[in-house]
């Protein structure tokens, strides 16, 4: 069974943007809750939602990470 992150890739072509929970983002990148909290403090994009907790657009997170990597490489 595909993970939500894998399904997000499939659904993206349809124009839908499924949002990941903190736990799903942690699993996708193999990081802790503390790390995700630090990312959010550093500017990781969080999607507005009516649900409890935070939701993340995987593509927006990937773009943010790529920008950070570029900044780190030029520093």
pLDDT in tens, 22-68: 999 999 999 999 999 999 999 999 998 887 889 999 999 999 999 99
Q: How far apart are CA 23 and CA 36, in angstroms?
A: 9
pTM, entire model:
0.75
- What is the CATH number for 67? 1.10.10.10
Query: Is 27 exposed, middle or buried (CB count within 10 Å of its CB: 0-12, 13-18, 19+)?
Result: middle
| Higher-confidence position of 37 and 2 | 37
Distance, in Å, from the CA atom of 28 to the CA atom of 59, rounded to the nearest integer, reads 12
Total number of domains in the chain: 1
Domain carrying residue 60: 4-74
Average of per-residue pLDDT across 8-24: 78
């Amino acid at each position: 069974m595909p993970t939500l992150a894998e399904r997000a890739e499939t659904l993206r072509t349809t124009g839908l943007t499924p949002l990941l929970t903190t736990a799903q983002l942690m699993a996708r990148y193999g990081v802790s809750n503390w790390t995700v909290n630090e990312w959010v403090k550093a500017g990781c994009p969080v999607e507005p939602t009516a649900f409890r907790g935070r939701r993340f657009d995987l593509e927006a997170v990937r773009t943010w990470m790529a920008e950070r990597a570029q900044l780190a490489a030029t520093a």
